[in-house]
Amino acid sequence: MLIVSKCLAGVPCRYDGKDNLVPEIKAIVERGEAVAVCPEVLGGLPTPRVPSEIQPDGRVLSKQGEDVTAQFVSGAARAMTLCRAHGCTGAILKARSPSCGKGVVYDGSFTGKRVPGSGVFVKMLLDAGIPVMTEEEYLVTACGKNETVLETERLILRPWKEADAGECFFYAKDPRVGPICGWPAHTSVEHTRQVIRDVLAAPETYAIVLRETGLPIGSIGLHRNDLAQKDDEAELGYWLGVPFWGRGIAPEAARALLRRAFEDLRLARVWCGYYDGNEQSKRVQEKLGFRYQWTTDGAPVPQMGETRKAHVSLLTKADWAAARDSGEGRQ
C-alpha cells in the first residue's frame, strides 16, 4: 500500500481550491493500492486557504504572516497515523509543497525561489524510514512516462537513450549549436553520454528523431527552472543539428510538445527565451505564437561562464488554444 497526496488523486484540496490531478496516481487510488491524504486539510486548514511556505528558521508562515506551524505538524502527524494504519510502505507526494515536497521546497519568500529541503509530512515519513518519491519521479521511474513518444509528420519525439551518444555528439560537437543556447560544444562521445545521463534524461525531454532515418538530430524539452516558477509552468528549450536548420523542424517538434504541455500536462504557461543575436530561435518562438515579455541585460550563462542579453517570451494556454483553433498553429 502507498500513501499519496490527495491533490494528485484529483481532489481539489490545494490552497487555491484546485487539484494537481495525475491520472496515473488517481488510478492507483481507485484500484485500492494507495490511500490519499492531504496533511494540510487534516491539520484543520480550510480550502481554499492562504498559501504557506517553510521559513529559514523552520516555522511555516502563511503569506499573510500567520504562523501555521502547529496546523502543519498536527496534520502531518494525522497523516502519519493513517499511513501506519494502512501499512503504507512508500509515498508519492506533490513536489515542492511545504507539506508534501521532497528534496526541494519554496524558500519562504513567496517569490517562487526554491531551496533544498522537504515538507513537514515528508520529513516525518523519511524519519520513519518510509521512502518518498515526488509525482515527477514516479512518472519517470515507476510509471514509464519517460517512454512517452510524440509523433509528427516528419518526426518522432522520444526519450534520449545512452545509445544515442554517438549521433548526439555528431551534432552537439559543432560550436554553432550549443553556445548560442548557453552550453559549450561537446568534446567527446563520453561527454555527450554524460550529458544524456545528467541533463537529457530529465522528464519531458525528448530526442528529436527524423522519421525517415530513425536517428536523433536534436533535442527539445519542457524544463522546470528559473523562468518557470509555478507548478503549472515550464520553459521550452530546443536545439537542432546544423544540417536541419531552416527546414521548419523546430516549430514542428515544438507544436507537438506544446500540445502535450497544455493538454496532457495541463500547464497554463510555457516560457521560452533566446540570447541576443539568436535570430533563428526568435523566429521559431514567433511562429509558435509566443509573445515577447522582457529583456534582461547581463543574464548569467553559467555553463559558458559569462553574461548575455536575454529575451524572454511567453505562450499562455489561452493564446495557444486560440492559435490552434484559428489554424495558425498548424503552419
How many CA atoms are closer than 13 Å to the CA of 137, on its beta-carbon side? Answer: 14
Number of residues that bind ligand SF4 (CB under 6 A): 12
Does the footprint of ligand SF4 cover residue 5 (CB under 6 A)?
yes
DSSP 182: T
Shortest separation between residue 133's beta carbon and ligand SF4, angstroms: 14
Select from 2, 3, 14, 28 the one that contacts ligand SF4 (CB under 6 A): 14
Give φ, ψ of 94 to 5 degrees.
-65, 125
How many degrees, rounded to 5, is the angle at CA 162 between CA 254 and CA 270? 25
Stretch that binds ligand SF4, among 3-11, 192-200, 204-212, 306-314 (CB under 6 A): 3-11
If the CB atoms of residues 91 and 314 are measured against ligand SF4, the closer one turns out to be 91
Burial of 211 (0-12, 13-18, 19+ CB in 10 A): exposed
Select from 52, 71, 99, 285 the one that contacts ligand SF4 (CB under 6 A): 99
Stretch that binds ligand SF4, among 7-15, 102-110, 296-304, 305-313 (CB under 6 A): 7-15
How many degrees, rounded to 5, is the angle at CA 137 between CA 135 and CA 143? 80
Does the footprint of ligand SF4 cover residue 43 (CB under 6 A)?
no
If the CB atoms of residues 51 and 179 are measured against ligand SF4, the closer one turns out to be 51
Stretch that binds ligand SF4, among 32-40, 228-236, 262-270, 299-307 (CB under 6 A): 32-40
C-alpha cell at 41: 486539510
Does the footprint of ligand SF4 cover residue 6 (CB under 6 A)?
yes
If the CB atoms of residues 99 and 205 are measured against ligand SF4, the closer one turns out to be 99
59: left (phi over 0), alpha (psi -120 to 50) or beta: beta
Stretch that binds ligand SF4, among 1-9, 168-176, 220-228, 258-266 (CB under 6 A): 1-9
Shortest separation between residue 79's beta carbon and ligand SF4, angstroms: 9
Alpha-helix residue ranges (DSSP H) falling in the chain: 23-30, 39-42, 69-85, 120-127, 135-137, 165-172, 178-181, 189-195, 249-259, 279-288, 317-326
Report the C-alpha gap between 59 and 171 in whole angstroms: 49
Instruction: Lay out the site mask for ligand SF4 across 50-89 (x = CB under 6 A, - = otherwise).
Output: ----------------------------------------
Shortest separation between residue 8's beta carbon and ligand SF4, angstroms: 7
Select from 34, 40, 68, 323 the one that contacts ligand SF4 (CB under 6 A): 40
The count of residues in the chain is 331
Query: Secondary structure of the chain: what % helix, strand, coil (to 5)?
Result: 35, 25, 35
Shortest separation between residue 50's beta carbon and ligand SF4, angstroms: 13
Shortest separation between residue 238's beta carbon and ligand SF4, angstroms: 31
CB-CB contact of 217 with 241 (8 Å):
yes
Q: Which residues bind ligand SF4 (CB under 6 A)?
A: 5-7, 13-14, 38-40, 94, 97, 99-100
